[in-house]
Structure 1
Amino acid sequence: MSSGKLENKSFMEELRSFDKGGFFELGHPLLNRVAESFIKAAGIGAIQAVSREAYFTAFEGENSSSSVGATEIPGAKKHRFPDLRGETNRKSLEAMVKNTGKESLQWGLAAGVYSGLTYGLKEARGAHDWKNSAVAGALTGVALALTSDDTTHEQVVHCAITGAAISTAANLLSGIF
C-alpha cells in the first residue's frame, strides 16, 4: 500500500469536477464540448429507453395476472419499442438493443448539435444571449425532426418552433433562478 491518503470526494464534488476537466481532449474546445454533450446525453437516452421498456413490461405482466379492474395507461403502446413483441428472448433483446441505440443517438444528436451551435454562435457573435439559444434550439429541433421515421414539413416546423421556444425560455429563466 502507498503511504499517501486516498482522496475522499462527495458525489457532488465528483460531478463538479467533470465541468473543470472534461472527458475528451480533441484539440479544439468546440469538438470537446460537442463530444462530451453527445456522450452524456446518449447515456441518459439509453437509460431512459431501457427503464421505460422495463416499466411497460412490468406493468403488462401485472395486468395480465389480474384481469379484474386492470387499467390501461393511455398511449402506453405508442411509446413502446415497436419491434419488441416477446416472441423469443433473442428477438426481443435484438429489438431492445436496436431501439435503445436509436434513442441514444437521438438524445446525443440533440445535445451535441445544441451545445456545438451555442458555443459556435457565442464565439462568432461575441455574446451569449437568448438569440443564440433561439437559433440553436430551432436548428436542434429540425435535426430531431429529421431523425423521425415519417417526417413531414409540418413536423419539422413544429419541432423548430418548439426547440427555439424551450431553449429561449431556459436561457431567459437561467438568469432569474
Structure 2
Amino acid sequence: MSRSILSGSYSSPKVDLIVDTGNPFLNLTVDGFLKIGTVAAAKVVAEEAYYVVKRGSISQHNFEKSLKKMCKEGAYWGAVAAVYVGMEYGAERIRGTRDWKNAMLGGALTGALISVASNNKGDKIVTDAIAGGAVATAAEFLNYLT
C-alpha cells in the first residue's frame, strides 16, 4: 500500500495601511478602527449578498438600507476596536510591560465603557467588563499559539 504525505503552507494576502498621526496612541487606534471597521463592513456585504441571491433581485431601497447597515456596523465595530486598542496600549504604557494582562485590562475596560455607553446599569456593566476581558485574554493566548 502506498502512502503519501501532503505538505504545504498557506499565507493569506496582507494589506496594510499605515496612518502616521505623529502619535503612537492615535496611530494604533486609527489602525484598529480602520481594520476592524473594514472587516465588519465586509461581513455585512457578504450577508446582504446572500439575501440578494435568496430574493433574486435588489431594489434601490434595499441597496440603500444595506449601505447604511454596512456603514453603521463598520463604524460601531471600528469604534469598539479603537477603544480596545487604545486601552491596551494605555495599560502597556502605565504598567511598563507588554504581556497578556494588558489585553485583559484593555478588554475589561472596553467592555465596561461600551456597556455604559449603551445605557446599561450595575451588574450588566460588570458582566460586560468580564466578557470583554475574557475574550481579549483568550484572543491574546490564541495569538501566542500561532
Range into which the TM-score falls when normalised by the shorter chain: 0.7 to 0.9
1:162 has 2:131 as partner: yes
Q: Is the Cα contact below 8 Å between 1:110 and 1:143 reproduced in 2?
A: no
Instruction: Tell whether the 8 Å contact from 1:37 to 1:108 is kept in structure 2 after alignment.
Output: yes
Aligned-residue offset at 1:91: 2.4
What is the aligned-residue identity percentage?
Answer: 33
- Seen in structure 2, the aligned counterparts of structure 1 residues 103 and 143 have a Cα distance that, compared at 3 Å, is farther
Q: Shift of the alpha carbon at 1:131?
A: 2.2
> Following TM superposition, by how much is the alpha carbon of 1:54 offset from its aligned partner in structure 2, in angstroms?
1.6
1:41 Cα deviation after fit = 1.1
Partner of 1:104: 74
Find out whether 1:32 has 2:23 as its counterpart. no
Alignment pair present for 1:132 and 2:131? no
- Alignment CA distance shift 1:13-1:55 (3 Å): closer
Q: Provide closer, same or farther for how the CA distance between residues 174 and 96 of structure 1 changes in structure 2, counting only shifts above 3 A.
A: closer
Task: Return the TM-score normalized by structure 2.
Answer: 0.75
Matched length: 135
Relative to the length of structure 1, the TM-score reads 0.63
Give the Cα separation in 1 of the matches to 2:51 and 2:72. Answer: 19
Whole-angstrom distance in 2 between the partners of 1:115 and 1:90 = 37
| Distance across 2 between alignment mates of 1:91 and 1:173 | 42
Q: Residue 49 of structure 1 contacts residue 100 of structure 1 at CA under 8 Å; is this kept in 2?
A: yes
The structure with the larger Rg is: 1
In structure 1, runs of 5+ residues without a counterpart are 1-11, 63-85
The equivalences for 1:57-96 within 5 A come to 57-59=52-54, 61=55, 89-96=59-66
Amino acid of the residue matched to residue 31 of structure 2? E
Residue number in structure 2 paired with 1:71 = none
Mapped partners of 1:174, 1:13: distance in 2: 16
Q: What does 1:3-42 correspond to in 2, within 5 Å?
A: 15=14, 18=16, 23-42=18-37
Partner of 2:35, secondary structure, is helix
Separation in 1, partners of 2:92, 2:51? 42
Alpha carbons of 1:104 and 1:147: their partners in 2 closer, same or farther (altered >3 Å)?
farther
Q: Could you list the runs of 5+ residues in structure 2 that have no partner in the other structure?
A: 1-10
Task: Tell me, yes or no, if the aligned pair for 1:114 and 1:137 is still in contact at 8 Å.
Answer: yes
What residue is the counterpart of 1:172 in the other structure?
141
Deviations 1:68-92 (A, max 9, x none): xxxxxxxxxxxxxxxxxx9x93322
